[in-house]
Every structure is written in C-alpha cells, then in structure tokens.
Amino acid sequence: MTLMNAESYRESLRKRKPLKVWLDGKLLENPIDHPYIKASINTVALTYELAHDPEFKPLMTATSALTGETVNRFCHLHQNTQDLMNKVKMQRLLGQRCGTCFQRCVGMDALNAVFATTFDMDKKLGTTYHERFKSFAKAMEQNDWIVDGAMTDPKGDRGLRPAEQPDKDVYLRVVEQRPDGIVVRGAKAHQTGAVNSHQILVMPTVSMKSDEGEFAVAFSVAADAEGISYIYGRQSCDERKLADDEASDIDSGSSCYGGQEALIVFDDVFVPSENVYMNGETEFAGLLVDRFASYHRQSYGGCKVGKGDVAIGAAASIAELNGVTKASHVKDKIVEMNHLNETLFSCGIACSANGAKMPAGNFLVDPLLANVCKQNVTRLPYEIARLLQDIAGGLMVTLPSARDWLNPETAGILEKYFAGAAGSDTRLRIRMLRLIENLTMGRGAVAYLTESMHGAGSPQAQRILIGRLANVEEKKVYAKALAMNNSLVTVEAAIREGLAKVRGGKKA
Ligand code: SF4
Ligand code: FE
C-alpha cells in the first residue's frame, strides 16, 4: 500500500495498539475520537486525500529515489531543487486548504536530515547506520507513514549542559546499552502531530560535546511502543471545540480542522539496534540538528504562507461584510498583507532553488537563505495578523456567544445590531469574525503565530546561524577594495587577492 487515502489513514490509526494519551487531566479511552484530536486528524488526512486528486497529485506525490514508485511527497527524499520547491508549494497548498498545521512536515524534514547525516557518519567513522536508515526510509514510503520528527528536549536549566542538569532526563538519553539495542529515557516537547503518527523519529536536540555521548542519540520507534505516553497540549480557546453542536462549530471559528502538539514521554523505552541511527557519535549531533533546522525553516516559507492566504482572504471578506472595501487605507492594508506574505514565499522558494546535493544524494536547501526565511517568519505573520485585526474591528473580540445567536429570544436583537454592509449575510459576518479570532488569537494562532516564533527554533537560533553563514569577511574585502583603489585594474586585483586570502582561511 504505497498511497493511503484519508479513510485508510484513519483506519491505520485505529490499528495501532491503544496509545496512552493524557488530556485535561484524564487518560483517554479512545484518543482518536476526542473532539480536539478528531479535528487534528482531519487536517493530517488532507495530506493523504489530496495526493489522490488529479489536480494536486504532481505536487503531493513524487517518484521514490529508493524504489521508483510513486510515493506521498511527505515520505520523499528530495532529489533536486525542483523537489525542494515543490515541497514548499505543497505546504502552501495545504495551508490554504486547512488554515492550520497539517503536522506532517517534521517527519519529512527529519527523514531527509537523518538520511544525509547517517551517510556522512558512516563514511567518516565506519559505522553502519545508513543502510539501517535506508530500510526505515523505504518502510516509511511503502507504508505511507506519518512520522513524528522529534527533536526538542525540555532542556531544564538553559544555563547548564545536558550532563550538568540536576535531572539529566530533561535531555533524552540512553540509559542502558544492550547487545541487541538501547534503552532510552526522557521526553520530547511541543511534538506536532504526535498522537496522529505511526512512528517517531528521534534526533538529538543540540550539538553535543565529546563527553555527552549518552545524549547523542537518534532512533525510530513505533508511536504505540511500550513505555511511550503522551500528554496533550492545550490551545487557546480549545474548549469551544468540546461540545459537538452548532454553537461550538460557530464559536470555534474553524470547526473542521485543528493542529496538535503533545509532550512525548519515553519511560525506559527499548529500541532494537536496527532502529538506532546514532548512538554516541557526538561530532555528528550538531550537523543533524542544523540540517533538520534548515529543512524545517524552509517549511515555514510554505505552510505559513498558505495560512497567510487564508488570513488575507478573511481580511478581504470582512472588509466586504463591513462595507469598507472602497476605503483606500483598507485596500492598501490588503496590498501590504500580500506583499508580506509573498515575501515569505519568496524566501521559501529561494532557499529551495539555491539548494545543493549532499554526499548521500538527497538535496539540502541553502542554509543561510532558509534561516533568513524563518527569521522573517518570526515577524511578518504577526504584522499580517495585526492588519487583519485592524480591518476586522473590535467586534472580533466582543461578539456574543453563538448560543445567543441560536436563542430565539436574542437572535433578532443580534441580527438587528450586528448587521453589516447592506444586503450582506450577518451570519457569515459572525463566522468570519470567529475565523479571524481563531487565526490570530485562538487555536489557529498556535500554527500561524506562536509556532512562527518558536517552531523550528526561536529567533535567536536563526540569528546565530545567519551570523555564522553570512561570510562578512568576504564582504569586507569588497568594501576595502572599493575604498582603497583608484584604478579599475587594481580594484579588481585587490578583490581577487582579498578573496583568495579569506577563502584560504586568513583575514583580508
Ligand atoms: Fe508543517 Fe507548518 Fe505544521 Fe510545521 S507548523 S508541521 S511546517 S504545517
Ligand atoms: Fe513546526
């Protein structure tokens, strides 16, 4: 079964052993039917369903480099820069369709990062991780798995290294080496789509020093493996989704779809050797982290743009419903929102177009441009959201409950006083305002805004990499050569000489 559809995906979740999922203080009996989780499963299911749509198949699928078969792009090893660009376009498409997080990108990004890094590790250290990981990659394609890429450790005291923590478990670690595998303990935080996954692909969270081998670990494990439990994350206004009725649908703002985050706890989980892809090779932990981060920072140049398209559509719609489409400042704000959104898309496309082949054969995005992409993502969606709230007006946060709209005693009053543009549909206006609330302050804001800030690394992480990758020494060569020379011949000679020195490792 290479390409599942939405229905077979839902069935595949039911076939897992019962997951241990805690939500709101209770252990869930049947996690996948909980209203929060059901909505988040609908979102993931889109990634399966659209792969069968003739219109979207070229974006949603790819030809496997491992078997030559058609596979879902989320399970694909990128073979060229077109693949990288198609990934971003696919993410924009899905963001437009659901307006929230479709949860499947972390697995795709982890797949490509671990594939490349195990290859490099084997070459340098003589280990045999790559072939093992290739088997996993094939199984991921063949089973059309959702793989939860798991990187972020809770980290405890940020001022201490992993081994210095009073409780070392705040960094996931190997607690026992056995002849046939390892035993791991710890947790991974903010795990997008964790409960909706088939497999978890764990990676180290930061680069490691040579004496931090116990934390330099990468492996895959089934989501329903013994010793794994999940504690479900809360989202702003999530209780509006609890009751299964029309009022909840209206007040939740976007009732069909939702995102999902959870803390995954690994309580002495045994991982057989064939599923271990790093076990103490500290010098490769940082490379794996950087590659995953680059891919995931590229991802945001697609997914946030799709959600931005929904935000812009909501701005234009509420302007119509409020009767302000002719106001020049409103038109200008919508132009600005588009400008910002397309700037993010440009970054996603640029880092993809400038990607390069790695020794393992798959392609990596341009890391500098991917970090610039994500740095912009930490800012521009907030400005888009600010403009959206500006256009929406204060009613977005003062609207009475949908239950008042559905109550015959108050419905008429609300229809009368909350009517918008002449002839417009007041109920649509209400729903549009709720969607805007969802996107900018509610459940959808997790995927559109807060994740834009902290997902794929907080802003400072990108600034460190931009500082490291931007090659300021070469830029100084250009500036000095232009400032110091007064002939065309010497200026060019100075540039060449300066660049040669810089590239030889010396300062110009
Ligand atoms: Fe994909 Fe965006 Fe969700 Fe991350 S936040 S998993 S990139 S949809
Ligand atoms: Fe993310």
Ligand 1 pocket, 303 CB below 6 A?
yes
**366 lies in which domain range?**
289-468
Choosing from 88, 101, 374, 450 the residue with most ligand 1 atoms within 8 A of its CB, the one to mutate for a pocket test is 101
Amino acid at 82: Q
Ligand 1 pocket, 305 CB below 6 A?
no
Ligand 1 pocket, 103 CB below 6 A?
yes
CA dist list (Å): 141 to 66, 108, 138, 357: 9, 11, 5, 21
Note the pLDDT tens digit of each residue in 300-327: 999 999 999 999 999 999 999 999 999 9
Q: Which residues pair with 202 in a beta bridge?
A: 150, 219
Q: What is the CATH number of the domain that holds 339?
A: 1.20.140.10
235 CB neighbour count, 10 Å cutoff: 23
pLDDT, mean of residues 169-177: 98
Instruction: For residue 455, report the distance from its CA to the centre of ligand 1, in Å.
Output: 8
In this structure, the answer to whether residues 413 and 497 fall within a common structural domain is no
Amino acid at 454: H
Q: How high is the pLDDT of residue 243? A: 82
Within 8 A by CB and 6+ apart from 328, the residues are: none
CA dist list (Å): 229 to 38, 130, 292: 19, 28, 24
Q: How would DSSP label each residue in 375-392?
A: HHHTTHHHHHHHHHHHHH
Q: For the chain, first and last CA: distance in Å? A: 58
Q: How high is the pLDDT of residue 55? A: 98
**Residue 72 — pLDDT band, cuts 50, 70, 90?**
very high
Q: How high is the pLDDT of residue 505? A: 63
Core vs surface per residue 186-205: b (16+ CB within 10 A) or e = bbbbbbbbbbbbbbbbbbbb
366 in any annotated domain = yes
Q: How high is the pLDDT of residue 94? A: 98
Q: How high is the pLDDT of residue 508? A: 46
Q: What is the CATH number of the domain that holds 69?
A: 2.40.110.10
Tokens 């093992």 found at: 132
Q: How many domains does the chain have?
A: 3
In this structure, the answer to whether residues 134 and 270 fall within a common structural domain is yes
508 in any annotated domain = no
In this structure, the answer to whether residues 12 and 108 fall within a common structural domain is yes
In this structure, the answer to whether residues 146 and 12 fall within a common structural domain is yes
Residues 60, 254: Cα–Cα separation, whole Å: 24
**Residue 230 — pLDDT band, cuts 50, 70, 90?**
very high
Q: Do 90 and 59 touch, CB atoms closer than 8 A?
A: yes
Residues 485, 498: Cα–Cα separation, whole Å: 13
In this structure, the answer to whether residues 233 and 361 fall within a common structural domain is no
Ligand 1 pocket, 101 CB below 6 A?
yes
CA dist list (Å): 309 to 93, 97, 257, 384: 10, 10, 16, 10
Instruction: For residue 185, report the distance from its CA to the centre of ligand 2, in Å.
Output: 23
Q: Do 147 and 111 touch, CB atoms closer than 8 A?
A: yes
Choosing from 93, 106, 109, 190 the residue with most ligand 1 atoms within 8 A of its CB, the one to mutate for a pocket test is 106
In this structure, the answer to whether residues 174 and 295 fall within a common structural domain is no
Amino acid at 402: A
Q: How high is the pLDDT of residue 263? A: 98
Residue having the nearest C-alpha atom to atom 2 of ligand 1: 303
507 in any annotated domain = no
Instruction: For residue 121, report the distance from its CA to the centre of ligand 1, in Å.
Output: 28
| CA-wise closest residue to 5 among 55, 50, 49 | 49
% helix / strand / coil in the chain, to the nearest 5?
A: 60, 15, 30
Q: How high is the pLDDT of residue 244? A: 80
Q: Final residue of a domain: which of 283, 308, 326?
A: 283
pLDDT of 416 higher than 50 = yes
Q: Which residues pair with 181 in a beta bridge?
A: 178, 272
213 in any annotated domain = yes
The encoded tokens of residue 288 equal 């794996």
Q: How high is the pLDDT of residue 345? A: 98
| CA-wise closest residue to 345 among 386, 312, 299, 391 | 299
Q: How high is the pLDDT of residue 430? A: 96
In this structure, the answer to whether residues 498 and 382 fall within a common structural domain is no
Instruction: Write out the H or E segment, with its range, that includes residue 86.
Output: helix 81-98
